[in-house]
């Protein structure tokens, strides 16, 4: 079968070799799942990982996109996830890995804090709104955005303890990220 | 010295008891004439105790030992066969349709793009050697008229599809995919024999249960559901 305009030596490939292809993203995820073993945190994600895709609300950013799958192919989730549980506290950790072939650099972007005593940018009259403890790390490595959420329901005195624990997790997790090529 | 004295007195006791036996066994008239023989008959029995067993028996000890051989597979008799739909999970897909603005259900179709190798499961009070497994598989094939195999290899399920599952707005659709197994229960007949007499076989039947795979194609069970 010969299609006019198509041949094997397609030179119009605009994706440079620097880009991480989707299969590598999947491989890196499973590499982390297998390799990351900690004395302080246990994986609570089953071995058969569920490939989750989500239909998007109607949106005009890229209006043709109906779901978050890679090329809207439901067997190719753009986001993979995993959960861990602290062995030393009630902290639960959720990691989201979001594929983006354009991300080129390893970068610790930011940390977002959210808990009862943290009232920066909340009006005084709303500072008593009850909130769970959520600390979120935003990280990029080649081909993906990684969000790590540390979630707990903690007493007032234990915020720093939980923040310290999130740092312990990060440093252990970082070892795996650094082992990527 | 003390040990020596005890030994001596013990020896005297043995001698005297032997003599007494002799005295009781023979008529008084014979006693005087055979008296020197008492020592001779007593001495060899002492030697027997020291050596543990006669020289004639010792020569037997260096012959090849009689060895129990086996167990070896003889046959497998299947008592029942069933199907286990959710034997080993291959893949799981989820489509979360709760955020959608559209009222139209979303058709969810999936394809397996990678799969890991998955083994069988044997249970029973027997050592499942290669020979025993092969024998059981042969028995299953004959009993059911299809062949089975122990392992689904890596990526064997690639390309298997499922769906479409219509996922309405506000629902989460799930498609779980499993390798279906056949479960065969029955008795494995094995035998043992002694090398001294190989023609006499001792048979034992051990109940076993095996969950394994049809060889012909990757038999995939699909479980679609809404949440």
Cα gap A104→A14, rounded to integer Å: 15
The answer, yes or no, to whether residue B47 has pLDDT greater than 80, is no
Which residue among A49, A53, A58 places its CB closest to the CB of B101?
A: A58
| Percent of the residues in chain A that have a pLDDT greater than 90, as a whole number | 76
Q: Which of B86, B88, B92, B161 to mutate to test the interface with A (most CBs of A within 10 A)?
A: B92
A50 vs B contacts (CB less than 8 Å): 92-94, 174
Distance between CA atoms of B205 and B104, rounded to whole angstroms? 60
Torsion from C-alpha of A160, A161, A164, A166, nearest 10 degrees: -100
* Closest-CA residue of chain A to B170: A55
Confidence of residue B113 (pLDDT cuts 50, 70, 90): confident
For B141, the 3-state DSSP assignment is: helix
Q: Which 61-120 residues of chain A touch chain B by CB within 8 A?
A: 66-67, 74-76
Q: Which residue has the higher pLDDT, B104 or B2?
A: B104
Neighbours of B90 (CB within 10 A): 24
Strand partners, B149: B213
Q: Is the dihedral of CA A25, A84, A165, A121 positive or negative?
A: positive
Q: Which of B86, B87, B94 to mutate to test the interface with A (most CBs of A within 10 A)?
A: B94
Q: Give the residue from chain A lying closest to B164, CA to CA.
A: A74
Give the residue, B187 or B48, on which the prediction is more confident.
B187
What percent of chain B shows pLDDT beyond 70? 71
Q: Is pLDDT above 90 for B182?
A: yes
d(CA B96, CA B109): 13
Nearest partner of B77 among B193, B198, B203, judged by Cα: B203
Range with the poorest average pLDDT among A52-61, A168-177, B10-19, B117-126: B10-19
Averaged confidence pLDDT in chain B? 79
The b/e string for A88-121 (b: 16+ C-beta within 10 A; e otherwise) is eeebbbbbebbbebebeeeeeeebeeebbebeee
Instruction: For residue B145, give how far its alpha carbon lies from the nearest alpha carbon of chain A (Å).
Output: 32
**A49–B contact, CB cutoff 8 A:** yes
Averaged pLDDT for residues B50-79: 69
SS3 track for B48-100? HHHHCCCHHHHHHHCCCCCCEEEEEEEEEEEEEEEEEEEEEEEEEEEEECCCC
Chain A window 1-30: which residues touch B at a Cβ cutoff of 8 Å?
Answer: 26
Kindly determine whether residue A74 and residue B108, on different chains, have CB atoms separated by under 8 Å.
yes
Residues of A within 8 A of B100 (CB-CB) are 55-57, 66
Residue pLDDT, tens place only, A8-54 = 444 444 444 567 899 999 999 999 999 999 999 999 999 889 999 99
Q: What is the pTM of this model?
A: 0.72
pLDDT at B165: 95
Instruction: Give percent above pLDDT 70 in chain A.
Output: 90
Q: Pick B94's closest partner by Cβ from A48, A52, A66.
A: A52
Averaged pLDDT score across all residues of chain A: 88
Nearest chain A alpha carbon to B93: A51
Cβ within 8 Å, pair B100-A74: no
- What is the pLDDT at residue A82? 97
> Is 0.85 exceeded by the ipTM?
no
Contacts of A53 in chain B (CB under 8 A): 93-96
Distance from CA of A176 to the nearest CA of B (A): 22
Non-local (6+) Cβ contacts of B111 within 8 A are A75, B159, B160, B161, B162
Of A26, A50, A67, the CB nearest to B92: A50
CB contacts of A74 in chain B (<8 Å) are 93, 95, 108-110
Closest alpha carbon within chain A to B159: A75
pLDDT at A37: 93
């Amino acid at each position: 079968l010969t299609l006019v305009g198509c041949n094997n030596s397609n030179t119009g490939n605009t994706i440079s070799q620097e880009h991480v292809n989707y299969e590598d993203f999947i491989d890196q995820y499973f590499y982390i799942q297998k390799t990351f073993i900690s004395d302080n945190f246990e994986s609570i994600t089953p071995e058969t990982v569920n490939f989750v895709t989500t239909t998007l609300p109607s949106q005009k950013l890229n209006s043709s996109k109906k779901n978050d799958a890679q090329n809207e192919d439901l067997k190719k989730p753009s986001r993979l996830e995993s959960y861990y549980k602290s062995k030393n506290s009630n902290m639960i950790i959720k990691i989201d890995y979001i594929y983006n072939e354009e991300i080129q650099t390893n970068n610790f972007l930011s940390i977002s804090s959210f808990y009862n005593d943290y009232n920066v940018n909340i009006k005084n009259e709303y500072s008593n709104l009850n909130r769970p403890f959520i600390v979120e790390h935003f990280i990029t490595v080649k081909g993906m955005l990684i969000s790590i959420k540390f979630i707990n329901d903690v007493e007032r005195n234990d915020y720093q303890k939980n923040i310290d624990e999130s740092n312990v997790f990060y440093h252990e997790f970082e070892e795996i990220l650094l082992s990527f090529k | 010295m003390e040990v020596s004295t005890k030994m001596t007195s013990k020896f005297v006791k043995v001698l005297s008891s032997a003599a007494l036996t002799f005295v009781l066994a023979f008529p008084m008239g014979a006693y005087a004439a055979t008296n020197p023989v008492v020592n001779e008959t007593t001495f060899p029995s002492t030697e027997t105790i020291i050596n543990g067993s006669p020289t004639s028996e010792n020569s037997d000890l260096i012959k090849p030992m009689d060895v129990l051989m086996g167990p070896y597979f003889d046959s497998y008799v299947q008592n029942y066969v069933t199907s286990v739909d959710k034997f080993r999970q291959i893949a799981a897909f989820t489509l979360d349709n709760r955020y959608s603005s559209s009222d139209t259900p979303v058709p969810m179709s999936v394809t397996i793009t990678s799969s890991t190798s998955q083994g069988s499961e044997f249970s029973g009070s027997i050592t499942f050697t290669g020979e025993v497994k092969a024998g059981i598989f042969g028995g299953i094939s004959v009993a059911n008229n299809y062949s089975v195999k122990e392992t689904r290899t890596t990526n064997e399920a690639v390309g298997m599809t499922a769906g479409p599952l219509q996922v309405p707005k506000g629902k989460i659709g799930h498609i779980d995919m499993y390798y279906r197994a056949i479960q065969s229960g029955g008795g494995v007949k094995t035998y043992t024999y002694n090398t001294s007499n190989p023609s006499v076989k001792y048979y034992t039947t051990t109940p076993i249960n095996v969950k394994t795979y049809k060889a012909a194609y990757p038999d995939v069970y699909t479980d679609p559901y809404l949440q």
